């Protein structure tokens, strides 16, 4: 069977399983108060399951780990404020991992991150998940919505597989030497899909990137990702990159307002 057809069938099967899975409920304040709270610094080895209330920022420091078991639901409390703690990168609620993150969802029992309040006019409700110099991380079958960046990878190369990232400002950003495997994910209906910045070389394999108001995939001049078997469609710009050869297969980039835009570094540098 053709590789692209097999991957298309796999993505459809994942979507069908997710569609048939029970939807997370909308808990009342009294119910949230009874849930285990996810907040602050998680030192050591933390394993969590069930329904969790993320009442504020979470930091997994270097040398520590967080595992979220299949079917876990994390209800995220949006918050805005001025933070002076240098450990945190955003003023919004964030899950910041400097150690190891293992999200262990399955097609039938994904791990959900649910914002408890959605701002108007498409503004993000929370910062999302950020990995900084993280090692050994794996993010599988998560459902992440309404974040500034669903996954922000800084000097980190996790395996990111089978996730559904919707309604986020940015789906996945890989920067500062990140080389993750990003495979069989659905990234859709945000501002932009997947960004490769500052010498990052991810493997982008079998993903569906669709319905973004700006770029589906953006690759800066210093990054060299591998593209193979992706479906990039229904975006304003399908693929944006600087003029050069690119390893992989671009045949799945179609049905965008503009499928391919090539940028010229020398032309942009002129006064």
We report the CATH number of the domain holding residue 258 as 2.160.20.10
Q: Report yes or no on 117 lying in a domain.
A: yes
Highest mean pLDDT among 9-13, 15-19, 253-257: 253-257
- Expressed in angstroms, the distance from the first to the final Cα of the chain is 52
**What is the residue range of 174's domain?**
3-21+37-269
- pTM, 2 dp: 0.87
Across 10-28, average pLDDT: 55
Q: Are 162 and 14 contacting, i.e. CB atoms less than 8 angstroms apart? A: yes
Q: Report yes or no on 237 lying in a domain.
A: yes
pLDDT at 15: 46
pLDDT in tens, 168-215: 999 999 999 999 999 999 999 999 999 999 999 999 999 999 999 999
Q: CA 199, CA 239: separation in Å to the nearest integer?
A: 17
Alpha-carbon separation of residue 42 from 45, 61, 96, 152 (angstroms): 8, 7, 10, 19
pLDDT at 24: 62
Q: Are 99 and 65 contacting, i.e. CB atoms less than 8 angstroms apart? A: yes
pLDDT at 271: 41
Mean pLDDT of the chain: 88
Domains identified in the chain, total number:
1
Q: Is 12's pLDDT higher than 90?
A: no
Q: Report yes or no on 29 lying in a domain.
A: no
Across 244-267, average pLDDT: 86
Q: Is 116's pLDDT higher than 50?
A: yes
From 234, 194, 230, 229, select the one nearest 210 (Cα to Cα): 234
Q: Report yes or no on 28 lying in a domain.
A: no
């Amino acid at each position: 069977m053709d590789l692209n057809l097999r991957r298309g069938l796999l993505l459809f099967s994942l979507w069908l399983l997710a569609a048939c899975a029970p939807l997370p409920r909308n808990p009342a304040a009294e119910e949230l108060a009874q849930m285990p709270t996810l907040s602050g610094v998680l030192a050591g080895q933390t394993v969590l399951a069930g329904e969790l209330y993320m009442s504020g920022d979470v930091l997994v420091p270097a040398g520590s780990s967080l595992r979220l078991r299949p079917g876990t639901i994390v209800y995220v409390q949006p918050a805005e404020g001025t933070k002076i703690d240098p450990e945190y990168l955003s003023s919004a609620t964030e899950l910041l991992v400097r150690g190891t993150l293992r999200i262990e969802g399955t097609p039938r029992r994904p791990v959900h991150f649910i914002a408890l309040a959605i701002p108007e006019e498409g503004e993000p409700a929370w910062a999302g998940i950020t990995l900084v110099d993280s090692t050994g991380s794996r993010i599988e079958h998560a459902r992440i919505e309404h974040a500034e960046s669903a996954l922000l990878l800084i000097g980190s190369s996790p395996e990111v597989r089978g996730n559904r990232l919707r309604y986020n400002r940015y789906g996945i950003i890989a920067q500062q030497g990140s080389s993750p495997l990003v495979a069989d994910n659905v990234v859709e209906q945000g501002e932009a899909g997947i960004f490769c910045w500052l010498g990052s070389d991810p493997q982008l394999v079998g993903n569906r990137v669709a319905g973004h108001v700006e770029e589906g995939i953006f690759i800066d001049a210093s990054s060299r990702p591998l593209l193979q078997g992706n479906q990039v469609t229904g975006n304003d710009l399908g693929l944006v990159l600087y003029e050069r050869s690119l390893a992989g297969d671009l045949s799945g980039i179609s049905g965008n307002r503009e499928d391919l835009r090539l940028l010229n570094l020398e032309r942009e540098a002129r006064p």
